[in-house]
Amino acid sequence: MILVTGGAGFIGANFVLDWLASQDEAVLNLDKLTYAGNLENLASLEGDARHVFVQGDICDRALVDGLLARYKPRALVHFAAESHVDRSIHGPGEFMRTNVEGTFSLLEAARNHWSALPAGEKDSFRFHHVSTDEVYGSLSPEAAPFSEVHPYEPNSPYSASKAASDHLVRAWHHTYGLPVTTSNCSNNYGPYHFPEKLIPLVIVNALAGKPLPIYGDGQQIRDWLYVGDHCAAIRRILEVGRLGETYNVGGWNEMANLDIVRQVCVLLDELRPRADGQSYFTQITHVTDRPGHDRRYAIDARKIERELGWRPAETFATGIRKTVAWYLDNQDWVAHVQSGAYREWVSRNYEARA
């Protein structure tokens, strides 16, 4: 069995589904079920004995200790995190608690568990920490993409909290010998993505006839990684990744936000045309940029390809078509996650910037 934290969220749920579709090994899934955690993401696993779900907080040390003692997982894959930059600007405290204190709590629980294992089990135990390219800061247009040795220069409360968690993971390896690996990924997209992030927000707003909000000039550049490719990369790191190493995981798809929105509009025009015959392009609206908005991220993913043989299977063209089609085919899921709290958040964050 492996223990996955945050396994009801976007990337975590995709990983759990991917794992159980490709492995016989069971998953112990620990998730607090905050606004972004959704058991509907895992509805296809209902009745599957290989999936054990526990609702709980990674900061609850007694709970985590008890789960490790009872289930004795041979690996811990740590997704659980607050991850939205805008939310971190409005309320940084929860990011410090979950991303920093929560990671510390997990590391200590894992260290205690690992230290008591018999020699063979101790040698095979792994703690994999899932992080972000945002810890590296912002790149100029002509700069080389982020490599694993790029200096940390976080510019938001979110990225600062993730940078802190990365440093903790590194320290627990070098100080205590805990067998860890870390991955820093670029922007993920795909099924089950909570519609506060750019791509699902644009799809949901477009279909509802609402404005498609673009920060500033829309020329902020990101690398885009299909979530299924990310899951495959983590599986590969768990299999053969070197202990103590960091692997950057990217999609080799640098694109400006405005170009992303335009591509989504083109697909929606094709797959779900507006009743009035106009293009979804007409709904694009530029709003005031957010504070400290990093201009460019780009991932150099050559290390994981060279050492572990992983490379993304999806191009952006194939991945975005699958993503738009999934949202069109899963309107009930979209309706269920758009609670009153979600609508209030979108109003507070976007309409105030118009």
Q: Would residue 51 count as lying in a domain?
A: yes
Q: Would residue 104 count as lying in a domain?
A: yes
DSSP class of residue 133?
G
Q: For the beta carbon of residue 148, count every other beta carbon within 10 angstroms.
A: 18
Q: Would residue 21 count as lying in a domain?
A: yes
Q: Would residue 323 count as lying in a domain?
A: no
Q: Where in the sequence is the domain holding 144, given as residue range(s)?
A: 2-188+226-251+296-314
Q: Would residue 336 count as lying in a domain?
A: no
**Per this entry, what is the length of the chain?**
354
Q: Would residue 196 count as lying in a domain?
A: no
The span from the CA of 332 to the CA of 146, in Å, is 38
pLDDT for position 347? 56
Contact in structure between 292 and 86 (CB atoms under 8 Å): no
Q: Would residue 302 count as lying in a domain?
A: yes
**Look-up: residue for tokens 């940078």?**
163
By annotation, the residues acting in catalysis are 133-134, 158
Q: Would residue 220 count as lying in a domain?
A: no
Tens of pLDDT along the chain (354 residues)? 999 999 999 999 999 999 999 999 999 999 999 877 889 999 999 999 999 999 999 999 999 999 999 999 999 999 999 977 778 888 999 999 999 999 999 999 999 999 999 999 999 999 999 999 999 999 998 999 999 999 999 999 999 999 999 999 999 999 999 999 999 999 999 999 988 789 999 999 999 999 999 989 999 999 999 999 999 999 999 999 999 999 999 999 999 999 999 999 999 999 999 999 999 999 999 988 777 778 899 999 999 999 999 999 999 999 999 999 999 999 999 988 876 554 454 455 445 545
DSSP 105-123: HHHHHHHHHHHTS-HHHHH
DSSP-assigned beta bridge partners for residue 27: 2, 51
The span from the CA of 27 to the CA of 20, in Å, is 8
The span from the CA of 140 to the CA of 295, in Å, is 7
Q: Does residue 257 come out as left (phi exceeding 0), alpha (psi in the -120 to 50 range) or beta?
A: alpha
**Residues 256, 259, 265: CA angle, nearest 5 degrees:** 145
CA 58 vs. chain centroid, Å, equals 17
Total domain count for the chain?
Answer: 1
The span from the CA of 147 to the CA of 334, in Å, is 36
For residue 177, give the CATH number of its domain: 3.40.50.720
For the chain, counts of helices (H) and of strands (E): 14, 12
pTM for the whole thing? 0.92
The span from the CA of 232 to the CA of 22, in Å, is 10
Crossing angle (nearest 10°) for helices 257-271 and 316-329: 50
